[in-house]
């Protein structure tokens, strides 16, 4: 019995590792853009509130990052192994997802009268933060499924 690797094994392995690195880089970039978009459109400096350990800011930020990951994962999944198309789809869908999340959360705040600024800055976790976090996750799932 002989153990041997197919001649194309290492080339395929290299392409796979390259794809992982590119998607991880793009996913991280989209999450940073998503964080920035949430930070710019909410009262206060979200990054400082998170560093200060404000629970509302941490929950809302975490939900925003998870929802962005849903979008990127589904965009990658639907790319059918085509790297360039998958990266482009992830970028476009990710940016659209960021816009949808920010607009949807701001609309929710307007319709419900939620004042998210005080909820993000509070020392305790307020119900408003949970509502905004749930909205982020729901919108992320909606955009992700819309990609399919």
Task: Summarize pLDDT for 2-27 with one digit per residue, the tens.
Answer: 678 888 888 888 988 998 999 999 98
The 10s digit of each residue's pLDDT in 89-146 is: 889 988 988 898 889 888 988 999 988 899 999 999 999 999 999 999 999 899 889 8
Can you tell me the distance from the alpha carbon of 119 to that of 5, in angstroms, rounded to the nearest whole number? 58
The 10s digit of each residue's pLDDT in 21-67 is: 999 999 899 889 988 988 888 888 888 999 999 999 999 999 988 98
The secondary structure of residue 4, as a DSSP letter, is -
Can you tell me the distance from the alpha carbon of 61 to that of 121, in angstroms, rounded to the nearest whole number? 13
**Burial class for 83, CB neighbours closer than 10 Å (0-12, 13-18, 19+):** middle
Q: Which of 146, 15, 132, 12 is nearest to 63 (CA)?
A: 132
């Amino acid at each position: 019995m002989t153990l041997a690797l197919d001649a194309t094994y290492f080339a395929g392995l290299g392409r796979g590792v390259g794809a992982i690195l590119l998607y991880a880089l793009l996913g991280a970039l989209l999450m940073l853009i998503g964080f920035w978009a949430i930070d710019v459109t909410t009262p206060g400096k979200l990054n400082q509130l998170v560093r200060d350990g404000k629970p509302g800011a941490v929950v809302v930020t975490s939900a925003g990052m998870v929802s962005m990951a849903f979008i990127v994962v589904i965009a990658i999944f639907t790319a059918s192994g085509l790297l360039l198309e998958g990266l482009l789809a992830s970028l476009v869908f990710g940016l659209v997802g960021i816009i949808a999340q920010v607009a949807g959360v701001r609309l929710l705040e307007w319709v419900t009268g939620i004042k998210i600024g005080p909820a993000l800055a509070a020392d305790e976790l307020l119900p408003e933060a949970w509502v905004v976090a749930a909205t982020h996750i729901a919108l992320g799932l909606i955009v992700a499924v819309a990609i399919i």
